[in-house]
Chains A and B, each alone.
Chain A
Amino acid sequence: DTAVSQTPKYLVTQMGNDKSIKCEQNLGHDTMYWYKQDSKKFLKIMFSYNNKELIINETVPNRFSPKSPDKAHLNLHINSLELGDSAVYFCASSQDQGWAQYFGPGTRLLVL
């Protein structure tokens, strides 16, 4: 019974391609997040949704577009992938804003 799941776990693609990462949580949480962890292991918030509404949108290129079809799902679509997009992307959820977060296993994206 995985609490927060992400697909795919690994993603290798060419520059300029478009890709999506999916996230699902079965914890009944209201808030979901996308984080990027770079090669230096810094974990940076990208987006957050609360009850399907976008509440946090940090300084992220507009090539990145989140979508929350319902409270249990938060997907991330990336257009025109660049080399600098290579990182590990983590999805997380929390019961409400500001509460403890539970992370998915991560999606390792490598752009060639």
Chain B
Amino acid sequence: QKEVEQNSGPLSVPEGAIASLNCTYSDRGSQSFFWYRQYSGKSPELIMFIYSNGDKEDGRFTAQLNKASQYVSLLIRDSQPSDSATYLCAVSLSGGSYIPTFGRGTSLIVHP
């Protein structure tokens, strides 16, 4: 069964620190990788997407993809209390219909 795994957390970091969120996936044919942020009671919101091996930076966020090791990570630099949320990793799997699969999410708490 195709799976996307995340540590449920909570991951607790002090304000100003780097938060590192990790995700592994089982299908080597996976092609597209996404990070979403979901505040409590709200809908998921796209933060980053990455398709190629390596790093992709957008402001305080960096997505890292390693297809050989089948993991994707999200780094949040200079973490703020407003970054406290659940972060969902999503992977579009191979097989023609690009079935999107979400991990169960990692809860991040940034404390002042």
Interface residues of A (CB under 8 A from B): 33, 40-45, 48, 55-56, 58, 90, 97-106
Contacts and interface: CB of A to CB of B under 8 A. Distances in A.
A110 to B, nearest CB: 14
Contacts of B17: none
A48 B97 contact: yes
Interface of B: 31-32, 34, 38, 42-46, 49, 86, 88, 90, 92, 97-102, 104-105
A44 B2 CA distance: 13
Given A44-B102, A100-B46, A105-B42, 14 more contacts: A33-B100, A41-B86, A41-B104, A45-B100, A48-B97, A55-B97, A90-B44, A98-B32, A100-B49, A101-B90, A101-B100, A103-B44, A105-B43, A106-B43
